[in-house]
Amino acid sequence: MTDARNPPPGPFDPDTLTDWIFDLDNTLYSAECDLFAQIDQRMGAFIGDLLDVGPVEAKTIQKQYFHTHGTTLRGLMVEQNMEPAAFLDYVHEIDLAVLPPDPALAELLARISGRKFIFTNGSVPHAERVTDRLGVRQHFDGIFDIVASDYLPKPDPLPYTRLVERFDIAPTSAIMIEDIPRNLAPASAMGMTTVLVPGRNPWQREDMDAPHIDFVAEDLVDWLTGLFAA
């Protein structure tokens, strides 16, 4: 694994990449703004209402479903036979005021010569709202969300296959940037270059040295800046 602020010269040239695939939450923006905490809170509230349980039990169920099924949504669909639409609408009704526009990221995305996509376990409307707020939506060529994945979350390999088929992506000429280590494993297996933007949770940082992670970027803007400078 190569230090994030010193991308290697030689074989890794960003201009040779035809496609850049970005996760959305806690990747395109910093986890420090705590935007996802609002989604997390609303997931707990939704579970509490759905299952008629208190907040502590709802939080326990939420985390159990996330770690067992990849997303809380998938857990609810499998364990409770829940229809997903109402859940997605409810949990993404959040206040984006805590998320500042990011002109530096917009400038860096504009410098990328390849196509750019968002691959998220969230929804298209949520991705559109977030990228509008960041000021970067115009730089993306497409969004592949949990609905397009038939509600199979990363790291299930099938959505990755559907992503590359839908957008005619050549994996060996693509790069994927993501905040959860396990979600990069299928991308690496397909031949993509992988970049981890590690989150603050210990379980997001314990696999940073895994062989399927090529780069670690503590800050996406800093990493992209260093990459283009090199």
19 and 129 both lie in a single domain = yes
pLDDT digit string, tens, across residues 96-107: 999 999 999 999
Q: Left if phi > 0, otherwise alpha if psi is -120 to 50, otherwise beta: which for 112?
A: beta
203 and 166 both lie in a single domain = yes
Q: Which of 129, 62, 137 has the alpha carbon at shortest distance from 93?
A: 129
Q: What is the pTM of this model?
A: 0.88
Q: Domain tally for the chain?
A: 2
In this structure, what CATH number is given to the domain that contains residue 209? 3.40.50.1000
Last residue of a domain, one of 70, 91, 112: 91
Q: Is residue 109 part of a domain?
A: yes
215 and 173 both lie in a single domain = yes
Whole-angstrom Cα distance, residue 162 to residue 19? 15
Residues 6+ apart with CB under 8 A from 202: none
Whole-angstrom Cα distance, residue 130 to residue 108? 17
221 and 130 both lie in a single domain = yes
79 and 109 both lie in a single domain = no
171 and 79 both lie in a single domain = no
63 and 129 both lie in a single domain = no
**Residues forming beta bridges with residue 174, ordered by sequence position:** 19
User: Contact 13/227 with Cβ under 8 angstroms?
Assistant: no
pLDDT digit string, tens, across residues 89-134: 999 999 999 999 999 999 999 999 999 999 999 999 999 999 999 9
Q: Is residue 6 part of a domain?
A: no
User: Contact 192/215 with Cβ under 8 angstroms?
Assistant: no
75 and 123 both lie in a single domain = no
Q: Which of 185, 187, 193 has the alpha carbon at shortest distance from 144?
A: 187
Q: Is residue 2 part of a domain?
A: no
Q: Left if phi > 0, otherwise alpha if psi is -120 to 50, otherwise beta: which for 174?
A: beta
132 and 210 both lie in a single domain = yes
Q: Which of 200, 195, 199, 193 has the alpha carbon at shortest distance from 216?
A: 195
pLDDT digit string, tens, across residues 21-52: 999 999 999 888 888 889 899 999 999 999 99
122 and 137 both lie in a single domain = yes
pLDDT, greater one: 20 or 68: 20
Q: Is the pLDDT of residue 230 over 80?
A: no
In this structure, what CATH number is given to the domain that contains residue 41? 1.10.150
64 and 165 both lie in a single domain = no
- Look at residue 175 and give its three-state secondary structure: strand
Q: Is residue 3 part of a domain?
A: no
Mean pLDDT over each residue of the chain, to the nearest integer:
90
Q: Is residue 170 part of a domain?
A: yes
Domain containing 124: what range? 14-29+99-229
Q: Is residue 7 part of a domain?
A: no
108 and 214 both lie in a single domain = yes
